[in-house]
Amino acid sequence: MADIIRLLPDHVANQIAAGEVVQRPASVVKELLENAIDAQSTDIKLIVKDGGKTLIQVVDNGIGMSDTDARLSFERHATSKIQKAEDLFNLHTKGFRGEALASIAAIAHVEMMTRTEDEEVGTHIKIEGSKIISQEVAVVPKGTSMMVKNLFFNIPARRNFLKSDQVEFRHITDEFHRVALAHPQISFSFYNNGSDVFNLPGNDFKKRIVQIFGRKTNEKLVPINEDTNVVRISGYIQKPEFAKKSRGEQFFFANNRFIKSPYLHHAVLGAFEGLIKPGTHPGYFICLEVDPATIDINIHPTKTEVKFDDEHTLYAYLKSTIKHSLGQFNVAPSLDFEKDQNLETPYNFKDKAVSMPGISVDADFNPFQKSRTAKAVGYSKQPNAQGWENMYQGLERKVPNRESSILEMESEGFNSSIFDGTETQDTVTTTFQLRKKYIVSTIKSGMLIINQSRAHQRVLYEGFLKNITIKEAVSQQLLFPLTLNFTHGEISILREIKESLCAVGFVFGDITHETVEIKGVPVVVTESEVQMVMEQLISDFQMEALEDSFSQVDMLAKTLSKTLSVKTGEILDERSQLGLVNDLFACKESALSPFNKRTYITLTENDIDRKFI
């Protein structure tokens, strides 16, 4: 039998490695920014075009590379960070696997320009699909400039899986946030399609948070700080009243590296237990400093998933630290042990013996006496109960028996048609609400039970779809425009769906990098619900990240219907119940909610009869 196992060519192996390291343009941004940080840069510029599909460029003022190092950096497993296996457990740098540049060069057009401080001229290298096109001497500034063009040009299938430019730009922005927050002392600049997005001078951690997420963030932050022999915890948490439905502002950093840890996230939620509403998420920016030997950051190519040696201790420390900060800054409710002066024993009674209190009873007291005076002044009292009957004059009205009245009412509503199968033409549809959740109505064949929340979702959903399609939504103008504060990323989402929101009935004023002015809202939205609706919209779009117009319209209609529908526990009068029933069966798809759940069930007379067998 012929041999069938053979070594893969280098360019194929690099493309396979690229599938693990480079998932989308944001992955390239992460690797290039981390390389710039490892190069001891103090100023880093990020430039992207078309969501990173056309161009990703990172320019730094770091130590640069010689011509030999520049060429060798594109080889697989070539790195200056480690020399032996033991170095993996004492890492202080970002990139160390030696895969990033080789993987990126395998699937894109790459240009590198670099120069060290000691050299007068630098190196300019061009690579396309792992193939070196040219390497020549060039006059370039100190540091390194990496340009990645036409990502996935030689893998069309991967390129087709990329989302729209707006969605990819959002992912790049998220990656930029993580790197910029982890290194507040470094200056960062971010440019998208020729316009400024961020210009962040070097600063401390709190000011960097405010620079990225807006000035209003400053009043939301509560500092945390704890130093133990296992971990040093620092950073900030957001006050419970600012918890959001989205999970955007949640950051863990371990040794200046962004990480994802569901286990530690659970510790944060445990500290906030009872302080935030169900379905909302607290914001936090938490830095953990541990011994590099106690953390393994090499379990995944993206290096965001890590493993700690003693996670249980970290969990306990983190939870108690957050609880302590919430109590220390009077954010969480606490017991007040201050003495109440009203409960103090007077000084004159300090040495007085305890005695039973005496009770004096007036045995001659008569409330019906016509004239009586206080016994204390020495007047005698003549008991006289005459005239007591007058107190009950006018109270001879007969009180009906409650039980008999109830029975009478029930007998009046008796209808024998359910037994004999006959129905009159004058029968009126009646409804009643069951446990503030269901609407029960009679039908010809038996009984109809409607889930009020799901039914209202279906009615609103089809109404919003119609308004967005024909663009004839009715809007009510606000007497005083609302100004809402959002982060830069949230503002970009609102800009993306602004046209659809206007079709529903929202009227927008000025939109800045941090604020949105709303001048009008749909008729079904009250002024107090606007903030909640906007936050829910942003949360859903962040989770789904849908970009095509049909999906965007559908998600918008679903989110609005879910947020504005009648909820379980709300009381509806009989007129509202009947109106909801009629509106539901006027819909094109009345049996299912927008989320494909049943809106109603029917119980026939036979079903009811079976219950009595």
Verify that 476 and 563 share a domain, yes or no.
yes
Residue 243 sits in the same domain as residue 284:
yes
Give domain status of residue 380, yes or no: no
The total domain count for the chain is: 3
- What pLDDT is recorded for position 278? 84
If asked whether residues 188 and 244 sit together in one domain, one would say no
What mean pLDDT do residues 152-160 have? Answer: 86
pLDDT in tens, 90-122: 565 665 556 788 889 989 999 999 999 999 999
Looking at 207-221, 226-240, 542-556, which range is the least confident one?
A: 542-556
The 10s digit of each residue's pLDDT in 33-42 is 998 998 899 9
pLDDT exceeds cutoff 90 at 149? yes
For residue 133, tell me if it sits in a domain.
yes
Do 182 and 233 lie in a common domain?
no
Single-letter amino acid, residue 577: Q
The answer to whether 65 touches 116, Cβ cutoff 8 Å, is yes
- Asked if 581 and 464 sit in the same domain, the reply is yes
* Whole-angstrom distance, CA of residue 117 vs CA of residue 337: 64
Are residues 323 and 449 located together in one domain of the fold?
Answer: no
Q: Convert the pLDDT of each residue in 504-516 to its tens digit.
A: 889 999 988 888 9
**Of 291, 312, 328, at which residue does a domain stop?**
328
pLDDT of residue 408: 41
Residue 334 is assigned to a structural domain of this protein: no
Whether 388 maps to a domain, the answer reads: no
Per-residue pLDDT band for 223 (boundaries 50, 70, 90) equals very high
H/E/C letters for each residue in 227-271?
ECCCCEEEEEEECHHHCECCCCCEEEEECCEEEECHHHHHHHHHH
What's the whole-number mean pLDDT along residues 276-288?
Answer: 90
Residue 395 within a domain: no
Q: What is the pLDDT of residue 406?
A: 39
Q: Which domain holds residue 177?
A: 10-200
Among 307, 328, 349, which residue terminates a domain?
Answer: 328
432 touches 576 (CB < 8 A): no
Cross-strand partners of 60: 44, 144
Of the residues 312, 328, 344, the one at which a domain ends: 328
Q: Can you tell me the mean pLDDT for 477-498?
A: 86
- 273 within a domain of the structure (yes/no): yes
Choice between 300 and 257, residue whose per-residue pLDDT is larger:
257
Judge if 58 and 178 occupy the same domain.
yes
Three-state secondary structure readout of 310-357: CHHHHHHHHHHHHHHHHHHCCCCCCCCCCCCHHHCCCHHHCCCCCCCC
Q: Do 168 and 293 share a domain, yes or no?
A: no
Q: Kindly state whether residues 233 and 167 are assigned to the same domain.
A: no
My answer on whether 70 and 149 are in the same domain is yes
pLDDT(613) > 70: yes
